[in-house]
Amino acid sequence: MKAVQFSAYGGPEVLQVADIDEPHAGPGQVRIAVRAAGVNPSDGMKLRAGCWRGRPIALPSGIGVEGAGVVDEVGEGSTDVSLGDAVFGYGINTAAQYAVLTHWARKPDGLPFAQAGGFPVVVETATRILAQIGVKAGETLLVNGAAGGVGSAVIQFARYRGIIVIGTASAPKHEYLRGLGAVPTTYGPGLVERIGHIAPAGVNAALDLAGPGILPTLLALVGDPSRVLSIVDATAPLHGAQGSFAPQNHPERVLSEAARLYTEGVFRMPLDKTFPLEEAADAYKRSAAGHATGKLVITLG
Ligand SMILES: NC(=O)c1ccc[n+]([C@@H]2O[C@H](COP(=O)([O-])OP(=O)(O)OC[C@H]3O[C@@H](n4cnc5c(N)ncnc54)[C@H](OP(=O)(O)O)[C@@H]3O)[C@@H](O)[C@H]2O)c1
| pLDDT given at position 53 | 87
Rounded CA separation 124/252 (Å) = 9
Residue 44 beta carbon below 6 angstroms from any ligand 1 atom: no
**pLDDT tier for residue 261 given thresholds of 50, 70 and 90:** very high
Residue 187 beta carbon below 6 angstroms from any ligand 1 atom: yes
Residue 292 beta carbon below 6 angstroms from any ligand 1 atom: yes
Give pLDDT tens digits for 30-44: 999 999 999 999 999
Rounded CA separation 158/153 (Å) = 8
Residue 39 beta carbon below 6 angstroms from any ligand 1 atom: no
- Closest ligand 1 atom to Cα of 42: 47
Q: Which residues contact 101 (CB under 8 A, 6 or more apart)?
A: 29, 30, 31, 32, 67, 87, 89, 90, 91, 94
Cis before 108? omega within 30? no
**pLDDT tier for residue 135 given thresholds of 50, 70 and 90:** very high
Q: Which CATH class is domain 2-118+269-299?
A: alpha beta
Residue 128 Cα to ligand 1 midpoint, Å, equals: 16
- Closest ligand 1 atom to Cα of 170: 40
User: Does the pLDDT of residue 294 top 90, yes or no?
Assistant: yes
Q: Average model confidence (pLDDT) for the chain?
A: 97
**pLDDT tier for residue 212 given thresholds of 50, 70 and 90:** confident
Give pLDDT tens digits for 163-187: 999 999 999 999 999 999 999 999 9
Give the residue, by CA position, lying nearest to ligand 1 atom 22: 148
Residue 173 beta carbon below 6 angstroms from any ligand 1 atom: yes
**CA 256 → CA 24, 50, 240, distances in Å?**
24, 32, 34
Residue 149 beta carbon below 6 angstroms from any ligand 1 atom: yes
**Mind giving me the DSSP string for 201-241?**
T--SEEEESS-SS-HHHHHHHHS-GGGEEESS-TTGGGGT-
Give the residue, by CA position, lying nearest to ligand 1 atom 46: 41
Residue 52 beta carbon below 6 angstroms from any ligand 1 atom: no
Residue 24 beta carbon below 6 angstroms from any ligand 1 atom: no
Residue 293 beta carbon below 6 angstroms from any ligand 1 atom: yes
| pLDDT given at position 166 | 98
The CATH 3.90.180.10 domain(s) of the chain lie at 2-118+269-299
| CA neighbours closer than 13 Å in the CB half-sphere of residue 288 | 16
Give the residue, by CA position, lying nearest to ligand 1 atom 34: 145
**CA 108 → CA 53, 70, 99, 263, distances in Å?**
33, 12, 20, 7
* Ligand 1 pocket, mutate which of 48, 215, 231 (most atoms under 8 A from CB): 231
- Give me the mean pLDDT over the 221-225 stretch: 97
- Closest ligand 1 atom to Cα of 40: 15
The CATH 3.40.50.720 domain(s) of the chain lie at 123-243
Question: Strand pairing of 98-106 and 242-243?
Answer: unpaired
Q: Which CATH number fits domain 123-243: 2.80.10.50, 3.40.50.720, 3.30.365.10, 3.40.1390.20?
A: 3.40.50.720
Give the residue, by CA position, lying nearest to ligand 1 atom 23: 148
Give pLDDT tens digits for 97-124: 999 999 999 999 999 999 999 999 999 9
User: Does the pLDDT of residue 229 top 90, yes or no?
Assistant: yes
Residue 108 Cα to ligand 1 midpoint, Å, equals: 27
Give the residue, by CA position, lying nearest to ligand 1 atom 5: 125
- pTM for this one? 0.98
Residue 35 Cα to ligand 1 midpoint, Å, equals: 25
User: Does the pLDDT of residue 139 top 90, yes or no?
Assistant: yes
